[in-house]
Amino acid sequence: MMSLAASASQTSTGEAVQFWVLGTVAVLGALGTVLMKKAVHSALSLAGTMIVLAVFYLAQGAYFLGVVQIVVYTGAIMMLFLFVVMLVGITAADSLKETLKGQRWWAAICGIGFGVLLIAGIANASLHTFTGTGAANSAQGGNVPGLARLLFTTYVWAFELTGALLITAAIGAMVLTHRERTEERRTQRELAEARVREGTQVTPLPAPGTYARHNAVDIPGLLPDGTISEASVSSTLRERGQIRDVSRDALRRLAELDQRSEEWLERRGVAGASRWEPGRRKGLPGAGSGDDPADPADPAEHAADHAEEGAK
Amino acid sequence: MNPVNYLYLSALLFTIGAAGVLIRRNAIVVFMCVELMLNACNLAFVTFSRLHGNLDGQIIAFFTMVVAAAEVVVGLAIIVSIYRTRHSASVDDANLMKL
């Protein structure tokens, strides 16, 4: 039993092994929290440290706190952190250049000095006999009844005050994040009228991926002449340069398809397949070698030809 | 192993958290470091509860958790509202009250 082991001044070997293994994990997690460049990685490192601390609470006989640590800290508080990181932290790049000269070195020196003082203080204190929580836990029939008895007798006033604190915090968060709407919400009709009045884009925007090989949102739709339509992808993706232009690819696929269908129909030789290569058509990006005189002008017309042939 | 090692670990975690508060400038990460310091204190409280053989230390750790939860809620709300007005989560950019 962990609580029995907790009543001696020396822990059991199992707890010692657990301490050295998980303690290393906790320190690494703490270092990761401080040193990781991205806020998400920091949050995950901190969550790892908190879970390790929960295990330590359980090992020391604080069963209620161990569970509360996981439920409240890693469950609620870290989720709140991750929510805010998603709202704020991803776009807010943490610039790593120093604004105060030598701040990092001084901070590190202060940290090391502080740690040395703290650890030396603990080493000088006479902490040799550990009473253990076993007796205190079993006095009230368990850890939770013992805590409850203390909480509702000795500390009941502090407990009431924490209630007031939590309500104040909840209301404060709502007040701080609430945004008053200063203008009236525009209806769909007003939006449509404004769009017609401006006249820039009256119709709905083209969908991404139309006539391209993929229909993902980062692949712009193709116009009839084979060029990409800029309006079909989100402006955010366009500004980040994250759109994938597949117009060349699409035309090559189309040419292959055409060749295969012609081979299948046994209509003409394989030579006819090269006519749709983008470099050989007018008005396409990369055009310039001139167009094939035998080339029909419109792919649609070409397809109609095929349909006629198939009908015969 | 002497259980006093838990206190050393707690001191180490507190120091790392304090150094993080001094070093980092992203307000969210600074907040996480504060949480790390609070957690280190909780570990020390629980260890002292074991040292003395009564549950008062655990009660104090419980109250620390409640205060930390309230603090995180208000602090993150402040970060979000600052981000809305200044489009930055860096603590260097919130210098409106500087002369």
Provide mean pLDDT across the span B2-17: 93
Interface touch A57/B46, C-beta < 8 Å:
yes
Q: What length does chain B have?
A: 99
CA atoms of B70 and B75, how far apart (whole Å): 8
pLDDT of residue A161: 94
Residue B29 lies in a domain: yes
**Which residues are CB-contacts of B8 (< 8 A; sequence separation ≥ 6)?**
A119, A122
pLDDT of residue B64: 93
CB-based contact A212:A221 (threshold 8 Å): yes
**Whether the predicted pLDDT of A154 surpasses 80:** yes
CATH number at residue B33: 1.10.287.3510
Q: What are the pLDDT digits (tens) for A52-70?
A: 999 999 999 899 999 999 9
The minimum CA-CA distance between A181 and chain B, rounded to whole Å, is: 14
Return the minimum-mean-pLDDT range out of A107-111, A196-200, A217-221, A302-306.
A302-306
In terms of average pLDDT, the best of A13-27, A95-109, A178-192 is: A13-27
Residue B28 lies in a domain: yes
pLDDT of residue A299: 47
Backbone angles phi, psi at A257, to 5 degrees: -60, -45
Touching B: A residues 50-89, CB under 8 Å: 50, 53, 56-57, 60-62, 64-65, 68-69, 72-73, 76-77, 80-81, 84-85, 87-89
Count of helices and strands (H, E) across chain A:
13, 0
pLDDT of residue B9: 95
Touching A: B residues 55-94, CB under 8 Å: 55-56, 58-59, 61-63, 65-74, 76-81, 83-84, 87-90, 92
- Confidence band, pLDDT 50/70/90 cuts, at residue A163: very high
Residue B56 lies in a domain: yes
Q: What are the pLDDT digits (tens) for A10-50?
A: 788 889 999 999 999 999 999 999 998 888 899 999 999 99
Q: Where in chain A is the domain with CATH 1.20.120.1200?
A: 1-91+108-135
Interface touch B58/A43, C-beta < 8 Å:
no
Q: What are the pLDDT digits (tens) for A111-153?
A: 999 999 999 999 888 777 788 888 888 888 888 999 999 999 9
- Which residue's structure tokens are 């232009």? A245
Host domain of residue B81 = 4-86
Interface touch B13/A27, C-beta < 8 Å:
yes
A146 touches B at CB < 8 Å: yes
Q: Which CATH fold would you assign to the domain A1-91+108-135? A: Four Helix Bundle (Hemerythrin (Met), subunit A) (1.20.120)
pLDDT of residue A240: 72
Residue A110, Cβ density class (10 Å: 0-12 exposed, 13-18 middle, ≥19 buried): middle
A143 touches B at CB < 8 Å: yes
The minimum CA-CA distance between A51 and chain B, rounded to whole Å, is: 11
CB-CB neighbours of A244 under 10 Å:
14
- Confidence band, pLDDT 50/70/90 cuts, at residue B82: confident
pLDDT of residue A126: 78
Q: What are the pLDDT digits (tens) for A263-277?
A: 888 765 555 444 555
Domain count, chain B: 1
Residue B60 lies in a domain: yes
pLDDT of residue A296: 44
Interface touch B58/A147, C-beta < 8 Å:
yes
CA atoms of A155 and A157, how far apart (whole Å): 6
pLDDT of residue A293: 43
E-only strand ranges, chain A: none
**Which residues are CB-contacts of A59 (< 8 A; sequence separation ≥ 6)?**
A2, A6, A15, A18, A19
* DSSP string for B38-98: HHHHHHHHHHHHHHHTSSHHHHHHHHHHHHHHHHHHHHHHHHHHHHHHHS--BTTT--TT-
Q: Mean pLDDT over all residues of chain A?
A: 79
- All residues of chain B having their beta carbon less than 8 Å from the beta carbon of residue A87 are 80, 83
Angle at A116 between CA A114 and CA A118, to 5 degrees: 70
